């Protein structure tokens, strides 16, 4: 596995070594020791989550605040998504900056997102199975979020907004300038 640091402080794109032959493929999707060496930090994941979504489903931008902040390691098992993160760490040199990356079953890339980031994705294919590890347990009272179409963030979701399928909760999230950290 190789790790490439992104333009956002602490975010890494991870690319596994894939072994393919006539039978299919094999890859090591996670190895705690190698992962921590690659990112230069000790992260202990405690929860795995998975979602199935249809084309146009936009989930996010979500984060957990305070003692319930979560680092995540995200990947796509089936299909493709445009994955987006926003640095919401006020003391970070990349505060307010975004990163977008296509994650798919074909490129098999993963994205490590440290604590202090909002995260979201939109499904680009007919369906996508999205999987992620978290280093902290979910706490409803610590939820935070940013509206997907914040004008200052200017995120390109790669699909026409008329095709978006968004939860009622995500439609009323605040702008980046109004979030409570």
Q: What pLDDT band is residue 181 in, cutting at 50, 70 and 90?
A: confident
pLDDT (tens digit per residue) in 98-135: 999 999 999 999 999 999 999 999 999 999 999 999 99
62, 68, 137, 138: which one is catalytic? 62
Q: What are phi and psi of 39, to 5 degrees?
A: -90, -10
Q: Report how far residue 110's alpha carbon sits from residue 104's, in angstroms, rounded to the nearest whole number.
A: 9
* Global confidence as pTM: 0.94
Q: Report how far residue 28's alpha carbon sits from residue 32's, in angstroms, rounded to the nearest whole number.
A: 11
CB 17 within 8 Å of CB 28: yes
Instruction: Examine the residue annotation and report whether 132 is marked as an active-site residue of this protein.
Output: yes
Whether 180 shows a pLDDT value over 90: the answer reads: no
Q: Report how far residue 64's alpha carbon sits from residue 114's, in angstroms, rounded to the nearest whole number.
A: 12
Q: Domains for the chain: give ranges and CATH numbers.
A: 46-178 (2.60.120.10)
Would you state the pLDDT for residue 52?
Answer: 98
Instruction: Examine the residue annotation and report whether 106 is marked as an active-site residue of this protein.
Output: no
Q: What average pLDDT does the segment 44-61 reach?
A: 97
Q: How many residues does the chain have?
A: 181
177: which residues sit within 8 A by CB, 6+ positions away?
Answer: 152
68, 132, 137, 138: which one is catalytic? 132
């Amino acid at each position: 596995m190789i790790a490439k640091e992104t333009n956002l402080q602490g975010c890494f794109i991870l690319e596994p070594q894939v072994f393919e032959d006539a039978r299919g493929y094999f890859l090591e999707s996670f190895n705690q020791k190698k992962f921590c060496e690659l990112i230069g930090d000790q992260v202990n994941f405690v929860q795995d989550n998975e979602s199935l979504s249809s084309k146009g489903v936009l989930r996010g931008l979500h984060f957990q605040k305070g003692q319930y902040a979560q680092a995540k390691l995200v990947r796509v098992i089936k299909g493709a998504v445009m994955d987006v993160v926003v640095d919401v760490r006020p003391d970070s040199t990349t505060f307010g900056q975004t990163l977008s990356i296509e994650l798919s079953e074909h490129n098999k890339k993963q994205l490590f997102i440290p604590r202090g980031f909002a995260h979201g994705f939109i499904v680009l294919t007919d369906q996508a199975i999205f999987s992620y590890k978290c280093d902290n347990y979910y706490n409803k009272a610590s939820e935070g979020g940013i509206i997907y179409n914040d004008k200052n963030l200017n995120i390109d979701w790669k699909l026409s907004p008329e095709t978006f399928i968004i939860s009622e909760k995500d439609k009323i999230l605040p702008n980046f300038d109004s979030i409570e950290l």
